[in-house]
Amino acid sequence: MTVVPLVFFSLFASTAGLGDLKKIGILGGRVIVYYLITTAVAITIGVSLANAIKPGYGISLKATGDISKILGKVNQTSPSVVKTLINMVPSNPIKALAEGNMLQIIFFAILLGIAILSVRGEKREVIITGAQGLSDAMIAMVNMIMKLAPYGVFALGAGVVARYGIKVIGNLLVYALVVVIGLAIHLTLLLFVSLYGLGRKKPGEFLKKAWGVMVFAFSTSSSNATLPLTMETAEEKLGVPGYVSSFVLPLGATINMDGTALYQGVAAVFIAQAYHIPLTLSAQLKIILTATLASIGTAGVPGVGIVMLTMVLTSVGIPIEGIALILGVDRILDMLRTVVNVSGDLIASVVMARFEK
């Protein structure tokens, strides 16, 4: 119910909120490319680990629909990468919204957000403000729904264990461990290497100065709530110029969700394994593409990542009811992936500051 309007309004508002694209110039293009690359690498790490460790093997979930039709849908919705890119352009955006074609919705929302920047004066501000208001309203709706989540998680979790046995908990722990390992690899081998190689700052020095931000991000599970502290730390402790931090960090809190993207990749493969649904290479590439683009529209508040996961699962035909299996451990994983999200934003600001000399 919430995923389509949340994705559309969040993406449109965040794209339109970039301001005048001409003024953004080299810094904007550079940081957006950097964010997209790190996010794509994160989701690739997650998918690769899930394929190697196979946390979903040993579970035999039964889909509510005909499994042969589901397998057919997976094959049908997993064309070549080139065809996927071509199909991202909707012939009818209203039809894409009605059918929940997420890649087409993402493309149209971003394109519309860019187009609205050419509209001058009060009209543009009214539209952007309205879109941001609707985005905030959808997040508020998600928060309302999430208040029921503990009861739903209890009921769904009890049902899964009763139906498939206590061994499911073991698989769930392995799944959580895969996510944690993936987050650790991404933070230490990619982000810290990027920090040292591109930003010329030692990881130990960074950790010492950014530790308070990481603890706050862990406790709140919200990139948005952490943003003021993140900006203060970047400017006062890491020496990032104000004009760089004021652009790179709010943008990162909107579109740079490395930890969330990695978790979505692991979760998608885990649920597919639990349903015994084989994922072709093109299907896994589509998961990487969808999760990368979905991270752009993932609001930096607790609980929204699980909503965005439904979009990733839908893109390759994996039954979304499989999310019930992972909800029980999602909160702690949400806290950990927020640490990676916020750390990635801070490291990006350091790297961009060095490029800006």
Domain that holds residue 211: 24-79+148-355
Contact 146, 139 (CB under 8 A): no
Is 278 exposed, middle or buried (CB count within 10 Å of its CB: 0-12, 13-18, 19+)?
exposed
Within a domain: 112:
no
State whether the Cα torsion 345-313-17-140 is positive or negative: negative
Contact 300, 223 (CB under 8 A): yes
Residue 279 pLDDT? 84
- Cα distance between residue 222 and residue 237, in whole Å: 21
Within a domain: 120:
no
Residue 180 pLDDT? 95
- Cα distance between residue 166 and residue 156, in whole Å: 14
Q: Confirm whether pTM is higher than 0.85.
A: no
Q: Which two tokens stand for residue 174?
A: 């392995």
Within a domain: 114:
no
Instruction: Measure Cα distances from 28 to 25, 158, 197 in Å.
Output: 6, 48, 21
Within a domain: 8:
no
User: Going by C-beta distance under 8 Å and a sequence separation of 6 or more, which residues neighbour residue 282?
Assistant: 78, 79, 80, 81, 84
Would you give the end-to-end CA distance of the chain in angstroms?
A: 46
Nearest partner of 248 among 12, 18, 9, judged by Cα: 18
Within a domain: 297:
yes
Identity (one letter) of the amino acid at 124? R
Task: Please tell me the total count of domains within the chain.
Answer: 1
Within a domain: 111:
no
Residue 22 pLDDT? 64
In the three-class reduction of DSSP (H, G, I as helix; E, B as strand; rest coil), residue 254 is classed as helix
User: Going by C-beta distance under 8 Å and a sequence separation of 6 or more, which residues neighbour residue 14?
Assistant: 113, 254, 255, 296, 297
Residue 78 pLDDT? 46
Q: Nearest 5°: phi and psi at 157?
A: -65, -45
User: Going by C-beta distance under 8 Å and a sequence separation of 6 or more, which residues neighbour residue 273?
Assistant: 50, 54, 55, 56, 57, 59
Within a domain: 115:
no
Tokens 């206590």 belong to 166
Nearest partner of 342 among 279, 241, 243, 257, judged by Cα: 257
Contact 46, 266 (CB under 8 A): yes
Nearest partner of 252 among 192, 153, 180, 338, judged by Cα: 338
Within a domain: 158:
yes
Q: CATH number, domain at 157?
A: 1.10.3860.10
- Cα distance between residue 311 and residue 329, in whole Å: 20
Tokens 């729904």 belong to 145
Tens-digit pLDDT string for the chain (357 aa):
776 787 788 778 767 776 666 655 677 788 888 988 998 899 999 999 999 999 888 777 676 655 555 555 554 544 555 676 787 889 999 998 888 776 788 788 878 888 888 888 888 889 888 988 888 888 788 778 777 767 876 777 777 677 766 777 888 899 999 999 999 999 998 888 888 888 888 999 999 999 988 988 888 788 877 888 888 888 889 888 887 887 788 778 777 888 888 998 999 999 999 888 888 888 888 888 887 777 665 655 666 677 778 878 887 888 888 888 888 788 888 889 999 999 999 999 999 988 877
Identity (one letter) of the amino acid at 47? V
User: Going by C-beta distance under 8 Å and a sequence separation of 6 or more, which residues neighbour residue 238?
Assistant: 201, 206, 209, 210, 346, 349, 350
Q: Which two tokens stand for residue 316?
A: 């390759």
Residue 84 pLDDT? 63
- Cα distance between residue 17 and residue 19, in whole Å: 5
